[in-house]
């Protein structure tokens, strides 16, 4: 799994993450922008503190084959994800309103071992604070 995590970040190395403040228990949330089924996927990423009780849905999904990648737009920058994740995002995307999600492959900087370890340690809390949890088997 660690190799797959690094492959995701290497493929998306054009994107630059903002640092999370460990003391504030910060996480990133993905805003999946509205769109029609065949339109390109566009997303925004923002930092929030868990203590502020942000509203979001968590996505639990099968990562899929790390060699089958596609590109989405993350803050206007190309970002590589698996085809499995793309399918999940297409299914979850609303045609008229933004949907806020926590998705590990995007919301965690997978190339930063320290951040990845801290965020993985918070996954129970991240999932317990969600308004809903979507599960995608691919």
CA-angle at 97, arms to 92 and 100, nearest 5°: 55
Question: What confidence tens digit (pLDDT) does each residue in 12-52 have?
Answer: 446 899 999 878 899 999 999 999 989 999 999 999 999 99
Residue burial 52-70, b: 16+ Cβ < 10 Å; e: rest? eebebbbbbbebbebeebb
56-79 average pLDDT score: 92
Average the pLDDT over 97-112 and give the result: 96
Domain that holds residue 124: 2-136
Give residue-wise pLDDT tens across range 61-70: 988 788 899 9
The tally of domains found in the chain comes to: 1
| The two structure tokens encoding residue 67 | 């060699």
Looking at residue 65, its pLDDT comes to 85
């Amino acid at each position: 799994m660690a190799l797959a995590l690094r492959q995701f970040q290497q493929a998306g190395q054009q994107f630059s993450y903002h640092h999370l403040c460990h003391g504030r228990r910060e996480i990133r949330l993905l805003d999946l922008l509205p769109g029609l089924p065949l339109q390109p996927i566009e997303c925004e990423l923002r930092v929030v503190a868990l203590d502020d009780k942000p509203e979001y849905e968590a996505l639990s999904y099968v990562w899929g084959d790390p060699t089958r990648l596609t590109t989405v737009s993350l803050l206007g920058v190309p970002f590589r994800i698996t085809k499995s994740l793309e399918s999940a995002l297409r299914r979850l995307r609303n045609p008229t309103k933004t949907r806020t999600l926590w998705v590990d492959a995007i919301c965690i900087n997978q190339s930063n071992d320290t951040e990845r370890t801290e965020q993985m340690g918070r996954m129970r809390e991240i999932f317990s604070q969600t308004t809903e949890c979507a599960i995608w088997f691919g």
